[in-house]
Amino acid sequence: MEQMILAKCGEIVLKGLNRSQFDQRLMKNIKLSLQELGEFSLQMAQSTVYIRALGAEDMDEAFERVKRVFGLAAVCKAYTCEKNMEAISALAKECLYEAFADAKTFKVEAKRSDKRFPLQSPEICKEIGGVILSHYPNVKVDVHHPDVTVTVEVRDFGAYIHAVREQGAGGMPYGSNGHAGLLLSGGIDSPVAGYMIAKRGVSLTGIHFQSPPYTGERAKQKVVSLAEILKGYCPDLRLLAVHFTEVQEAIRDHCKEEYFTVIMRRFMMRVANELSKKWHCGALITGESLGQVASQTMDALRLTDSVTDSLILRPLIGMDKEEIVRISRKIGTFETSIQPYEDCCTVFTPKHPKTKPTLKEIAFEEAKLDIEGLVARAVEQTERIEL
């Protein structure tokens, strides 16, 4: 009994003339996601990718990985056999134990795109339904609300049965929609923000600001772990670490304490803006959510935006913390994000931050600093971390 995976395309089926570019990208991403597990052959037809292991690969792990590939609406655990009713019936008797483990009712659906196949879809359903009823004594037919839908597909290059169907990751194929820089802290929000934009097909470069010795090795390791989890969705994710100590010390030594946070965030944006040119990013992404903290009011966001000409994407802007946490759990970053290590944002935080700083006040404070030199040195000292 040969197990396979059938991956059903999502939104890309709505694409017109440039559809094939999206298809190719999707196939490449599926291949990349399976690369470590062994050799697989992939074939696309009827908006479905047929994934076959060429050796005895771990198909359960492969299934989990394909579920994380953006651009897929559903992923099915399937079995394949020769294209005749005898073989399909024999397979049905063998392959449905897992799917029927907790089921009381089922129905059969048939999809027949090979029009030379002697039976039509309703006849296939009837015959395989009969086989199942006589072979699996615990299940009955319910065509309206079945616990399990058994699908028989008769395609040009083979016959397939599947009954385990899970939701795919949705979105657009990773890398089909440009590239952006993700300001990645060790918190809950920014990995979720990156995930959401990657889901729309945008490939990512992570940009992390660290301030050793105020931030330690374990804080850095935490961000590396988060990036590694994100890599499960973003196959070619790269991570840059910016040395931000000099900037933060300069702000501490020369600027009024109540403005520290806003000025620091403006420096982050300036440095990220330079890095985004170097790495060809079409936008910068942050995990900010309106009103979450003092630096995320509309006024504060405008002050940080005004130092760059980059497009700033804030996919969490209208979300509550609870909603963000839910996604963070779903994508697997939550447990890492809540580890208690320091972030450079929490170094030198003012006791009484100014709630409504004006651009004039900020400009006055920043004039005390060598802005260009500080930014240039931070960019120059940025290192790439291997994931």
Both tokens of 112, joined, read: 């027949």
Q: Residue 287, interface with ligand ATP (CB under 6 A)?
A: yes
Quick note: the x/- pattern for Mg ion over 329-348, rule CB under 5 A, is --------------x-----
Closest to 184 measured CA to CA, from 198, 169, 170? 198
Q: Is residue 185 a contact residue for ligand ATP (CB under 6 A)?
A: yes
Task: Work out how close the CB of 212 gets to Mg ion at its nearest, in angstroms, rounded to a whole number.
Answer: 17
Q: Please identify, using beta-carbon distances, which residue of 93 and 231 lies nearer to ligand ATP.
A: 231
CB of 293 to ligand ATP, least distance (A): 5
Q: Who's near 335: CB < 8 A, 6+ residues apart?
A: none
Q: Which is nearer to ligand ATP, 274 or 343 (CB)?
A: 343
DSSP, collapsed to helix, strand or coil, labels residue 35 as helix
Q: Which of 84, 105, 149, 295 contacts ligand ATP by CB under 6 A?
A: 295
Which of 151, 176, 190, 245 contacts ligand ATP by CB under 6 A?
Answer: 190
Cβ distance to ligand ATP smaller for residue 70 or 244: 244
Task: Provide CB contacts within 8 A for 364, sequence distance 6+.
Answer: none
Question: For residues 74 and 167, is the Cβ–Cβ distance under 8 A?
Answer: yes
Q: Name the one residue in this structure whose structure tokens are 């403005």.
A: 259
Q: Measured from the CB atom, is 111 or 220 closer to ligand ATP?
A: 220
Contacts of 273 (CB under 8 A, 6+ apart): 284, 307, 308, 309, 310
* Chain mean position to CA 89: 39
For residue 189, state whether it binds ligand ATP (rule: CB under 6 A).
Answer: yes
Q: Which stretch binds Mg ion (CB under 5 A): 35-43, 185-193, 241-249, 363-371?
A: 185-193
Our finding on whether 289 is near Mg ion (CB under 5 A) is no
323-337 exposure pattern, b = at least 16 Cβ within 10 A, e = fewer: ebbebbeebbbbebb
Stretch that binds Mg ion, among 3-11, 57-65, 187-195, 358-366 (CB under 5 A): 187-195
Tell me if 173 contacts ligand ATP by CB under 6 A: no
Task: State yes or no: residue 211 binds Mg ion (CB under 5 A).
Answer: no
**Per-state percent for the chain, helix, strand, coil, to nearest 5:** 40, 20, 35
The C-alpha atoms of residue 185 and residue 289 are separated, in whole angstroms, by: 14
Nearest approach in angstroms of CB 284 to ligand ATP is 9
Two tokens at 1? Answer: 């009994």
Q: For residue 274, state whether it binds ligand ATP (rule: CB under 6 A).
A: no
Binds ligand ATP by CB under 6 A, chosen from 53, 72, 128, 188:
188
Q: Does 219 bind ligand ATP (CB under 6 A)?
A: no
Q: Is 185 in the site for Mg ion (CB under 5 A)?
A: yes
CA atoms lying within 13 Å on the CB side of residue 176? 25
* Cα–Cα distance for residue pair 376/271, rounded to 1 Å: 8
Identify residues 307-346 at the interface with ligand ATP (CB under 6 A): 343-345
Find out whether 314 and 193 touch, Cβ atoms under 8 Å: yes
Q: In the complex, which residues of this chain contact ligand ATP (CB under 6 A)?
A: 183-185, 187-190, 207-209, 286-288, 292-293, 295, 343-345
Q: In the complex, which residues of this chain contact Mg ion (CB under 5 A)?
A: 185, 187, 343
